[in-house]
Amino acid sequence: MSMAVRKKRISTADITALKGERPIVCLTAYTTPIAKLLDPHCDLLLVGDSLGMVLYGMTNTIAVTMEMMIAHGQAVMRGVERGCVTVDMPFGSYQESKEQAFRNAARIMKETGCDSVKLEGGEEMAETIHFLTTRGIPVMGHVGLMPQQVNTAGGYRSLGRTEAEADKIRRDALAIGQSGAFSFVLEGTIEPLAREISAAAPVPTIGIGASPACDGQVLVVDDMLGVFTDFKPRFVKHFASLAPVISKAVEDYAEEVKARTFPAQEHTFQMKKQPI
Protein backbone atom coordinates (compact mmCIF):
# COMPACT_ATOMS: atom_id res chain seq x y z
CA MET A 1 0.00 0.00 0.00
CA SER A 2 1.34 3.45 -0.88
CA MET A 3 2.48 5.50 2.12
CA ALA A 4 2.01 8.77 0.19
CA VAL A 5 0.23 11.23 2.48
CA ARG A 6 -2.33 13.46 0.79
CA LYS A 7 -2.46 17.03 2.02
CA LYS A 8 -5.66 17.80 3.89
CA ARG A 9 -8.06 19.83 1.76
CA ILE A 10 -9.84 22.81 3.32
CA SER A 11 -13.52 21.91 3.66
CA THR A 12 -16.59 24.14 3.41
CA ALA A 13 -17.02 23.63 7.19
CA ASP A 14 -13.46 24.95 7.69
CA ILE A 15 -14.44 28.05 5.66
CA THR A 16 -17.51 28.64 7.82
CA ALA A 17 -15.41 28.19 10.97
CA LEU A 18 -13.02 30.96 9.87
CA LYS A 19 -15.72 33.58 10.52
CA GLY A 20 -14.54 35.76 13.38
CA GLU A 21 -11.09 34.10 13.31
CA ARG A 22 -9.39 35.78 10.35
CA PRO A 23 -10.30 37.11 6.88
CA ILE A 24 -10.92 34.45 4.23
CA VAL A 25 -8.77 34.64 1.08
CA CYS A 26 -10.52 33.83 -2.19
CA LEU A 27 -9.71 34.35 -5.88
CA THR A 28 -11.29 33.09 -9.06
CA ALA A 29 -9.41 30.40 -10.99
CA TYR A 30 -10.22 28.84 -14.35
CA THR A 31 -7.16 26.79 -15.37
CA THR A 32 -4.75 24.22 -13.91
CA PRO A 33 -1.54 26.32 -13.97
CA ILE A 34 -3.20 29.32 -12.31
CA ALA A 35 -4.92 27.07 -9.74
CA LYS A 36 -1.47 25.64 -8.84
CA LEU A 37 -0.11 29.14 -8.27
CA LEU A 38 -3.10 30.28 -6.18
CA ASP A 39 -3.53 27.12 -4.10
CA PRO A 40 -0.78 27.73 -1.48
CA HIS A 41 -2.19 31.19 -0.67
CA CYS A 42 -5.98 30.92 -1.03
CA ASP A 43 -8.54 29.34 1.29
CA LEU A 44 -11.14 29.26 -1.46
CA LEU A 45 -10.79 29.04 -5.24
CA LEU A 46 -13.89 30.07 -7.15
CA VAL A 47 -14.43 28.77 -10.66
CA GLY A 48 -16.62 31.76 -11.43
CA ASP A 49 -18.91 32.07 -14.41
CA SER A 50 -17.01 35.33 -14.94
CA LEU A 51 -14.90 32.98 -17.11
CA GLY A 52 -17.39 33.75 -19.89
CA MET A 53 -16.15 37.32 -19.95
CA VAL A 54 -12.54 36.77 -18.81
CA LEU A 55 -11.64 33.76 -21.00
CA TYR A 56 -14.24 33.75 -23.75
CA GLY A 57 -14.70 37.49 -24.42
CA MET A 58 -18.46 37.45 -23.78
CA THR A 59 -20.11 40.73 -22.76
CA ASN A 60 -21.84 39.12 -19.77
CA THR A 61 -22.22 35.69 -18.10
CA ILE A 62 -25.63 34.75 -19.52
CA ALA A 63 -24.38 32.42 -22.29
CA VAL A 64 -22.03 30.42 -20.04
CA THR A 65 -22.92 26.69 -20.17
CA MET A 66 -22.76 23.72 -17.80
CA GLU A 67 -20.14 22.17 -20.11
CA MET A 68 -17.89 25.24 -19.76
CA MET A 69 -18.21 25.25 -15.97
CA ILE A 70 -17.50 21.51 -15.75
CA ALA A 71 -14.46 21.66 -18.06
CA HIS A 72 -12.90 24.55 -16.11
CA GLY A 73 -13.92 23.02 -12.75
CA GLN A 74 -12.03 19.85 -13.73
CA ALA A 75 -9.02 21.91 -14.83
CA VAL A 76 -8.89 23.77 -11.50
CA MET A 77 -9.30 20.58 -9.47
CA ARG A 78 -6.23 19.15 -11.25
CA GLY A 79 -4.17 22.05 -9.87
CA VAL A 80 -5.41 22.09 -6.27
CA GLU A 81 -3.98 20.20 -3.29
CA ARG A 82 -5.40 22.12 -0.31
CA GLY A 83 -7.83 24.91 -1.29
CA CYS A 84 -11.61 24.57 -1.09
CA VAL A 85 -13.04 24.75 -4.63
CA THR A 86 -16.45 26.21 -5.48
CA VAL A 87 -17.88 26.04 -9.01
CA ASP A 88 -20.50 28.55 -10.18
CA MET A 89 -23.83 27.24 -11.47
CA PRO A 90 -24.42 28.97 -14.80
CA PHE A 91 -27.49 31.04 -15.66
CA GLY A 92 -30.50 28.82 -16.40
CA SER A 93 -29.13 25.74 -14.63
CA TYR A 94 -30.91 26.23 -11.26
CA GLN A 95 -33.58 28.96 -11.36
CA GLU A 96 -36.40 26.81 -12.78
CA SER A 97 -36.92 24.50 -9.78
CA LYS A 98 -35.09 23.03 -6.83
CA GLU A 99 -35.10 19.66 -8.61
CA GLN A 100 -33.38 21.19 -11.66
CA ALA A 101 -30.88 22.86 -9.30
CA PHE A 102 -30.14 19.53 -7.56
CA ARG A 103 -29.69 17.67 -10.86
CA ASN A 104 -27.20 20.21 -12.21
CA ALA A 105 -25.39 20.81 -8.91
CA ALA A 106 -24.94 17.03 -8.46
CA ARG A 107 -23.58 16.79 -12.02
CA ILE A 108 -21.05 19.56 -11.32
CA MET A 109 -19.97 17.87 -8.06
CA LYS A 110 -19.65 14.40 -9.63
CA GLU A 111 -17.91 15.46 -12.85
CA THR A 112 -15.45 17.95 -11.32
CA GLY A 113 -14.86 16.59 -7.81
CA CYS A 114 -15.24 20.15 -6.45
CA ASP A 115 -16.27 20.90 -2.86
CA SER A 116 -19.32 23.07 -3.44
CA VAL A 117 -21.36 25.07 -5.91
CA LYS A 118 -22.33 28.74 -5.93
CA LEU A 119 -25.59 30.21 -7.11
CA GLU A 120 -26.91 33.75 -7.26
CA GLY A 121 -30.13 34.93 -5.65
CA GLY A 122 -31.73 36.20 -2.47
CA GLU A 123 -35.00 35.30 -0.77
CA GLU A 124 -36.28 33.55 -3.90
CA MET A 125 -33.37 31.06 -3.84
CA ALA A 126 -33.31 30.27 -0.09
CA GLU A 127 -35.62 27.24 -0.44
CA THR A 128 -33.46 25.86 -3.26
CA ILE A 129 -30.29 26.24 -1.20
CA HIS A 130 -31.99 24.46 1.72
CA PHE A 131 -33.04 21.66 -0.67
CA LEU A 132 -29.46 21.20 -1.92
CA THR A 133 -27.66 21.50 1.41
CA THR A 134 -29.97 19.00 3.13
CA ARG A 135 -29.21 16.54 0.31
CA GLY A 136 -25.41 16.65 0.48
CA ILE A 137 -24.47 19.61 -1.71
CA PRO A 138 -22.60 22.46 0.01
CA VAL A 139 -23.70 25.79 -1.42
CA MET A 140 -22.24 29.28 -1.44
CA GLY A 141 -24.81 32.04 -1.96
CA HIS A 142 -24.37 35.32 -3.84
CA VAL A 143 -26.37 38.48 -3.06
CA GLY A 144 -26.12 42.23 -3.72
CA LEU A 145 -25.08 42.85 -7.31
CA MET A 146 -25.95 39.63 -9.15
CA PRO A 147 -24.31 39.55 -12.60
CA GLN A 148 -26.71 36.88 -13.91
CA GLN A 149 -29.54 39.40 -13.42
CA VAL A 150 -27.84 42.02 -15.62
CA ASN A 151 -30.76 42.09 -18.07
CA THR A 152 -33.43 42.79 -15.45
CA ALA A 153 -31.22 45.00 -13.28
CA GLY A 154 -30.37 47.22 -16.26
CA GLY A 155 -26.58 46.86 -16.05
CA TYR A 156 -23.84 46.61 -13.45
CA ARG A 157 -23.76 49.18 -10.63
CA SER A 158 -23.18 49.10 -6.92
CA LEU A 159 -26.35 48.82 -4.87
CA GLY A 160 -27.67 49.78 -1.45
CA ARG A 161 -27.57 53.58 -1.57
CA THR A 162 -31.37 53.92 -1.39
CA GLU A 163 -33.39 52.57 1.55
CA ALA A 164 -35.36 50.32 -0.81
CA GLU A 165 -32.19 48.79 -2.28
CA ALA A 166 -30.57 48.41 1.14
CA ASP A 167 -33.70 46.73 2.51
CA LYS A 168 -33.79 44.23 -0.35
CA ILE A 169 -30.11 43.28 0.11
CA ARG A 170 -30.66 43.01 3.88
CA ARG A 171 -33.61 40.62 3.39
CA ASP A 172 -31.71 38.61 0.76
CA ALA A 173 -28.65 38.28 3.02
CA LEU A 174 -30.80 37.24 5.98
CA ALA A 175 -32.56 34.56 3.91
CA ILE A 176 -29.33 33.17 2.42
CA GLY A 177 -27.55 33.29 5.78
CA GLN A 178 -30.31 31.06 7.23
CA SER A 179 -30.71 28.79 4.18
CA GLY A 180 -27.87 26.39 4.95
CA ALA A 181 -25.29 28.08 2.71
CA PHE A 182 -21.76 27.73 4.14
CA SER A 183 -20.92 31.32 3.11
CA PHE A 184 -22.13 33.88 0.60
CA VAL A 185 -20.63 36.40 -1.78
CA LEU A 186 -21.71 39.97 -1.12
CA GLU A 187 -21.07 41.95 -4.29
CA GLY A 188 -21.13 45.65 -5.08
CA THR A 189 -22.60 47.34 -2.06
CA ILE A 190 -21.84 50.21 0.30
CA GLU A 191 -19.63 49.76 3.37
CA PRO A 192 -22.17 50.42 6.19
CA LEU A 193 -24.57 47.86 4.75
CA ALA A 194 -21.76 45.29 4.23
CA ARG A 195 -20.70 45.86 7.84
CA GLU A 196 -24.25 45.41 9.17
CA ILE A 197 -24.87 42.27 7.07
CA SER A 198 -21.49 40.70 7.96
CA ALA A 199 -22.05 41.33 11.67
CA ALA A 200 -25.50 39.73 11.56
CA ALA A 201 -24.81 36.78 9.22
CA PRO A 202 -24.19 33.38 10.86
CA VAL A 203 -21.83 32.41 7.99
CA PRO A 204 -18.95 34.31 6.35
CA THR A 205 -19.59 37.04 3.80
CA ILE A 206 -17.08 37.05 0.95
CA GLY A 207 -16.93 40.59 -0.40
CA ILE A 208 -16.20 41.93 -3.86
CA GLY A 209 -16.68 45.67 -4.10
CA ALA A 210 -18.26 45.44 -0.66
CA SER A 211 -15.59 46.93 1.65
CA PRO A 212 -13.14 45.44 4.16
CA ALA A 213 -16.04 44.88 6.59
CA CYS A 214 -16.74 41.50 4.94
CA ASP A 215 -15.43 38.24 6.45
CA GLY A 216 -13.34 37.54 3.35
CA GLN A 217 -12.49 38.97 -0.04
CA VAL A 218 -12.64 37.67 -3.62
CA LEU A 219 -11.36 39.21 -6.85
CA VAL A 220 -11.28 38.01 -10.43
CA VAL A 221 -7.71 36.76 -10.83
CA ASP A 222 -7.12 38.38 -14.23
CA ASP A 223 -8.19 41.73 -12.75
CA MET A 224 -5.84 41.60 -9.76
CA LEU A 225 -2.93 40.40 -11.91
CA GLY A 226 -3.44 43.25 -14.35
CA VAL A 227 -3.99 40.93 -17.32
CA PHE A 228 -7.38 42.45 -18.10
CA THR A 229 -6.86 46.19 -18.53
CA ASP A 230 -9.73 47.40 -20.78
CA PHE A 231 -11.17 49.12 -17.71
CA LYS A 232 -10.58 49.00 -13.94
CA PRO A 233 -13.59 49.12 -11.62
CA ARG A 234 -13.04 51.09 -8.38
CA PHE A 235 -13.02 47.91 -6.26
CA VAL A 236 -10.18 46.29 -8.22
CA LYS A 237 -6.54 46.66 -7.20
CA HIS A 238 -3.80 45.60 -9.60
CA PHE A 239 -1.36 43.60 -7.46
CA ALA A 240 0.72 43.10 -10.63
CA SER A 241 0.73 44.55 -14.16
CA LEU A 242 1.14 41.49 -16.35
CA ALA A 243 -0.40 42.86 -19.56
CA PRO A 244 2.68 44.95 -20.54
CA VAL A 245 5.01 42.09 -19.48
CA ILE A 246 3.16 39.70 -21.81
CA SER A 247 3.08 42.24 -24.67
CA LYS A 248 6.83 42.84 -24.40
CA ALA A 249 7.62 39.10 -24.31
CA VAL A 250 5.52 38.50 -27.44
CA GLU A 251 7.09 41.51 -29.21
CA ASP A 252 10.60 40.13 -28.42
CA TYR A 253 9.62 36.67 -29.64
CA ALA A 254 8.26 38.05 -32.93
CA GLU A 255 11.45 40.04 -33.52
CA GLU A 256 13.70 37.03 -32.83
CA VAL A 257 11.67 34.73 -35.08
CA LYS A 258 11.87 37.26 -37.92
CA ALA A 259 15.63 37.77 -37.33
CA ARG A 260 16.19 33.96 -37.10
CA THR A 261 17.91 34.44 -33.72
CA PHE A 262 15.29 32.17 -32.14
CA PRO A 263 15.55 29.21 -31.95
CA ALA A 264 19.28 29.36 -31.10
CA GLN A 265 21.65 26.36 -30.99
CA GLU A 266 20.66 25.51 -27.41
CA HIS A 267 17.03 25.12 -28.51
CA THR A 268 17.91 22.94 -31.50
CA PHE A 269 18.26 19.13 -31.78
CA GLN A 270 21.30 17.70 -33.64
CA MET A 271 22.44 14.23 -34.75
CA LYS A 272 24.32 12.26 -32.05
CA LYS A 273 28.14 12.37 -32.60
CA GLN A 274 29.24 8.97 -34.09
CA PRO A 275 31.97 7.07 -32.12
CA ILE A 276 35.26 7.02 -34.15
Site string for ligand KIV, 219-238 (x = CB under 6 A): -x------------------
Q: Is 116 in the site for ligand KIV (CB under 6 A)?
A: no
C-beta of 98: minimal distance to ligand KIV in Å?
Answer: 21
111 and 70 Cβ atoms separated by less than 8 Å: yes
Among 10, 12, 44, 50, which residue interacts with ligand KIV (rule: CB under 6 A)? 50
User: Closest separation between CB of residue 272 and ligand KIV, Å?
Assistant: 51
CB of 36 vs ligand KIV, minimal distance in Å: 19
Contact (Cβ atoms closer than 8 angstroms) between residue 117 and residue 139: yes
Q: Could you tell me which stretch among 42-50, 152-160, 232-240, 254-262 binds ligand KIV (CB under 6 A)?
A: 42-50
- Distance between CA atoms of 218 and 235, rounded to whole angstroms? 11
Residue from 75, 137, 145, 218 touching ligand KIV (CB under 6 A): that is 218
> Between residues 48 and 204, which has the closer beta carbon with respect to ligand KIV?
48
**CB of 131 vs ligand KIV, minimal distance in Å:** 21
**Residues 172, 160 contacting (CB under 8 angstroms):** no
Q: Which one is catalytic: 99, 127, 187, 256? A: 187
DSSP 187-228: ESB-HHHHHHHHHH-SS-EEEESS-TTSSEEEE-HHHHTT--
Number of helices (H) and strands (E), helices first, in the chain?
11, 8
Examine residue 86 and tell whether it contacts ligand KIV (CB under 6 A): no
How far is 43 from 182, CA to CA, in rounded Å?
A: 14
Three-state DSSP class for residue 14: helix
187 in catalytic set: yes
Quote the CA–CA distance of 163 and 165 in Å, as a whole number. Answer: 6
Closer to ligand KIV by CB, 126 or 218: give it. Answer: 218
Burial label, 148 (beta-carbon count in 10 A; 0-12, 13-18, 19+)? buried
Q: Is 43 in the site for ligand KIV (CB under 6 A)?
A: no
In this structure, what DSSP letter does residue 136 have? Answer: T
Range 145-184, binding ligand KIV (CB under 6 A): none
Size of interface with ligand KIV, in residues (CB under 6 A): 12
User: Are 209 and 235 within 8 A, CB to CB?
Assistant: yes
Q: How far is the CB of 261 from ligand KIV (least distance, A)?
A: 41
Name the nearest CA neighbour of 76 among 54, 104, 48.
48
Does 128 participate in binding ligand KIV (rule CB under 6 A)? no
Contact residues for ligand KIV (CB under 6 A)? Answer: 28, 46, 48-50, 88, 142, 185, 187, 208, 218, 220
